[in-house]
Amino acid sequence: MIKFVSYEFDKGISFGALKGDIIIDLSDIAQSLKDVLIRGPLDRLIDIVESRSEGIDLNKVIFHQVIPNASRVICVGKNYKDHAIEMGGNIPKNINLFIRTSQSLVGHKQSLIKSRVSSHYDYEGELALIIGKGGRHISEKDAIKHIAGYSCFLDGSMRDFQNHSITAGKNFDSSGSFGPWLLPSTYITDPQDLKIITRVNGNIVQRSSTKNMIFSIKKIIEYVSSFTFLNPGDVISTGTPDGVGYAHTPPLWLKDGDLVEVEIEKVGILSNYIKTEM
């Protein structure tokens, strides 16, 4: 099973493919993973990866978010019934979107930054998809064809700021994460039947399945493409299930030194430690 990663080793930020426990560098093929998606399907790289054997130890690289400097990171809010209820609102009748900046995200094993001006840092584990084939007015029946692959996503949220500004609460620098890699969509037969788990310091705080989404992945792509052209490399994060820190009694806010893990069946585990802003 080939997975594609953006990472840093000895030549700056590069990209490659994870093959076993080594990363096969592919920087001679294109400048970035996004550039590959723009040029065409990932499938054509599989044979190249299979023909190469020399690589970099997985544990020696610095992971970057899957699509560094993504043009758009589109997030779906309250897309699981029980989460909508625990947040004290009605179950949405329409898809609710917001935007995260690339600057608000880090990669696998990079530090998540707890801001010194917020005391309500919360976690939201989610499944993210990466667009491979661009398009506008994409129908539900064709939506899956436009997905290059899937990844894990932590929609870190500063709830005290989110109360008065969703944009601010969702976009503190380095408050969320995206990774560890892109798993090609060909390996996922049904993205609406994947277990999703979030752990804080090893304790399970969220456990659900993507089958519990209010609005399916196909419906989300249809909706987003109805008002904007989706481009290769665009990221869509599909919402979080119930169990967020806000809903605990007392609330379970993230603090310095905490380990947060988002695990999605077949896709992988995204891990990050919390570090308080200096």
The H-assigned helical ranges of the chain are: 33-39, 43-51, 81-86, 159-162, 166-169, 217-227
Give the percent of the chain with pLDDT over 70.
Answer: 100
Q: What is the CATH number of domain 73-276?
A: 3.90.850.10
Predicted confidence at residue 90, as pLDDT, reads 86
Report the C-alpha gap between 145 and 54 in whole angstroms: 32
The pLDDT score that the predictor gives to residue 12 is 85
Of the candidates 225, 80, 50, the one whose C-alpha atom is nearest the C-alpha of residue 155 is 80
Q: What is the per-residue pLDDT across 202-238, written as a single tens digit (0 to 9) for each?
A: 999 999 999 999 999 999 999 999 999 999 999 999 9
For the chain, the structural domain boundaries read: 3-63, 73-276
For the segment 133-175, what is each residue's pLDDT rounded down to a tens digit? 999 999 999 999 999 999 999 999 999 999 999 999 999 999 9
pLDDT at 278 (0 to 100): 84
**Radius of gyration of the chain from its Cα atoms, rounded to whole angstroms:** 18
pTM above 0.75, yes or no: yes
Q: What is the mean pLDDT of the chain?
A: 96
